[in-house]
C-alpha cells in the first residue's frame, strides 16, 4: 500500500446558493458529492465526464484552491484538509495545477522570466544565479528558448503558452500535478505535442498526474486508471484498458459509444441518453442516472448504489451488478 501517493475519502464540495435580499442560503450545489479514490505514485489518474459533472471542482478541491466542504485527502500520509492556510500555502510547491485555458491563466503583465521565477521566489530562498539556472533547466525541459524569456504571454501561441503554464507548474519540482483539461483549448496538432510533453515530464521528474478531461481518446492515451464522474459522483473506476474494453456502468457505456471512431465505415451503435442532466442543486434520490438510464429498475429510484468491487480494481456503482 506504500505505493499510494494520494488517497481521497468521502470528499464533498458544496456551493451555497444564496437568494433574496438578505442573502439567505436557500440550497447547495452538490458539485462534488462524496467521492473516494486512490492515486498511485508516478501514475496518471484520469477524471472523465461531461461538462458540469464536477471534475474540475474535484481537481481544485484536492489542492484546496476551492475549499472542500468535508472529507479526507491524504497526501504523503498527511491530511491536506486539516492543514492551516499557511501550511497549505507551503505545501503547494509539491502540488501544482495546470489550467485549461492558457490564454487566461498567465498574467498578461508579466514576462515569462517573471512568471517562472515567481514560484521559486515564493518557496525557496535562492540566489539570482540559482533562479536563472533553474529557469534555464525548466525551459529546456518544456521546449522554450532563452530568447523568449523577456516576452509577454500575448506574444506566444496557445501551445507555447501552455508550455509556459507547464513550466510554471513544474519549476518548483512538485510530485503531484493536477492537469485540468490541459489540452482542450488547443488545436489537435498541438494537443499531441503537449500530451507527449506531459508524458515525458512524468518519466523524467517522477510526477503523479490527475488528468481531467472530457476527451476520451486523450484519456486512453495518457492515463493508467480512470474514474468516470456523473453529477458529482464517481460511477465507475478502474484501470484504463478495463474501462475502455469492458465498461459496466450504463453511463460509461453511453459515454464510450459517443467517442468518434477512426474508421469512417465502421458502424457503431450509439447509446443515446434521453433527457437532461438533473440539477446538482436537487440531485435525484437513489442513482443519479435513474431518470435517464435504459435499464433503470425500481430500486434505482430509492437507494443510491455504492461503488462495488468487480475484481481487478474495477469498481462500479450500479444496482445491475449487485448480487
Partner 1 sequence: MKNIIEILKGIINIIKQLLKDPIGRIGFIGVFIIVLLSIFAPKIAPYDITEMFTKSKLVSPNGEFIFGTDNFGRDVFSRIIYGAKVSLQVGIISVGISATFGYIFGIVAGYFEGVVDSIIMRFMDVLFAFPSILLALFIVSVLGPSLGNTMIAIGIVNTPVFTRTVRASVISVKSMEYITSAKSIGLKPINIILKHITPNILAPFTVQATLALSGAILTEASLSFLGLGIQPPDPSWGSMLSESRKYMERAPWLAIAPAVFIICTILSFNILGDSLRDVLDPKLKL
Instruction: Using CB under 8 A, list all residues that contact partner 1.
Output: 60, 63, 65, 89-93, 96-97, 99, 101, 104-110, 118-119, 122-123, 152, 154-155, 165, 168, 172
Residue whose CB is less far from partner 1, 25 or 107: 107
Across the beta sheet with 24-40, the strand order is: 24-40, 4-19, 70-75, 78-79
Find, among 144, 161, 143, the residue nearest to 152 by Cα. Answer: 161
Q: Which three cell numbers stand for residue 61?
A: 478541491
Residue whose CB is less far from partner 1, 165 or 240: 165
> In the bound complex, what is the minimum distance in angstroms from residue 169's beta carbon to partner 1?
8
> How far is Cα 61 from Cα 70, in angstroms, rounded to an integer?
10
Residue whose CB is less far from partner 1, 154 or 203: 154
> How far is Cα 209 from Cα 289, in angstroms, rounded to an integer?
28
Parallel, antiparallel, or unpaired: how do β-strands 4-19 and 24-40 relate? antiparallel
> In the bound complex, what is the minimum distance in angstroms from residue 203's beta carbon to partner 1?
24
> How far is Cα 18 from Cα 167, in angstroms, rounded to an integer?
39
> How far is Cα 314 from Cα 252, in angstroms, rounded to an integer?
13
Residue whose CB is less far from partner 1, 98 or 243: 98
Residue whose CB is less far from partner 1, 70 or 122: 122
Q: Which residues pair with 40 in a beta bridge?
A: 4
> How far is Cα 275 from Cα 307, in angstroms, rounded to an integer?
24
> In the bound complex, what is the minimum distance in angstroms from residue 42's beta carbon to partner 1?
21
Amino acid at each position: 500500500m506504500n505505493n499510494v501517493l494520494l488517497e481521497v475519502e468521502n470528499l464533498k464540495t458544496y456551493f451555497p446558493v444564496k437568494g433574496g435580499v438578505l442573502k439567505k442560503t436557500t440550497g447547495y450545489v452538490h458539485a462534488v458529492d462524496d467521492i473516494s479514490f486512490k492515486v498511485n505514485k508516478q501514475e496518471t489518474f484520469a477524471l472523465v465526464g461531461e461538462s458540469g459533472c464536477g471534475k474540475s471542482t474535484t481537481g481544485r478541491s484536492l489542492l484546496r484552491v476551492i475549499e472542500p466542504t468535508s472529507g479526507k485527502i491524504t497526501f504523503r500520509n498527511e491530511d491536506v484538509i486539516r492543514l492551516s492556510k499557511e501550511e497549505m500555502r507551503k505545501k503547494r510547491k509539491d502540488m501544482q495545477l495546470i489550467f485549461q485555458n492558457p490564454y487566461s491563466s498567465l498574467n498578461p503583465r508579466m514576462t515569462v522570466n517573471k512568471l517562472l521565477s515567481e514560484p521559486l521566489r515564493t518557496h525557496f530562498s535562492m540566489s539570482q544565479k540559482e533562479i536563472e539556472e533553474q529557469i534555464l533547466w525548466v525551459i529546456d525541459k518544456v521546449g522554450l528558448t532563452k530568447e523568449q524569456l523577456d516576452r509577454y504571454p500575448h506574444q506566444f501561441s496557445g501551445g507555447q503558452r501552455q508550455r509556459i503554464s507547464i513550466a510554471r507548474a513544474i519549476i518548483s519540482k512538485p510530485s503531484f500535478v493536477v492537469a485540468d483539461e490541459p489540452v482542450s483549448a488547443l488545436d489537435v496538432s498541438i494537443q499531441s505535442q503537449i500530451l507527449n510533453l506531459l508524458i515525458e515530464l512524468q518519466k523524467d521528474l517522477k510526477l503523479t498526474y490527475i488528468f481531467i478531461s472530457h476527451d476520451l481518446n486523450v484519456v486512453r492515451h495518457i492515463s493508467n486508471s480512470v474514474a468516470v464522474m456523473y453529477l458529482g459522483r464517481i460511477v465507475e473506476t478502474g484501470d484504463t484498458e478495463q474501462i475502455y474494453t469492458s465498461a459496466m456502468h450504463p453511463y460509461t457505456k453511453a459515454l464510450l459509444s459517443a467517442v468518434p471512431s477512426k474508421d469512417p465505415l465502421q458502424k457503431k451503435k450509439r447509446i443515446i441518453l434521453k433527457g437532461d442532466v438533473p440539477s446538482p442543486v436537487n440531485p435525484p434520490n437513489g442513482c443519479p442516472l435513474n431518470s435517464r438510464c435504459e435499464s433503470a429498475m425500481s430500486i434505482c429510484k430509492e437507494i443510491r448504489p455504492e461503488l462495488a468491487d468487480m475484481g481487478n480494481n474495477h469498481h462500479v456503482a450500479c444496482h445491475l451488478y449487485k448480487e
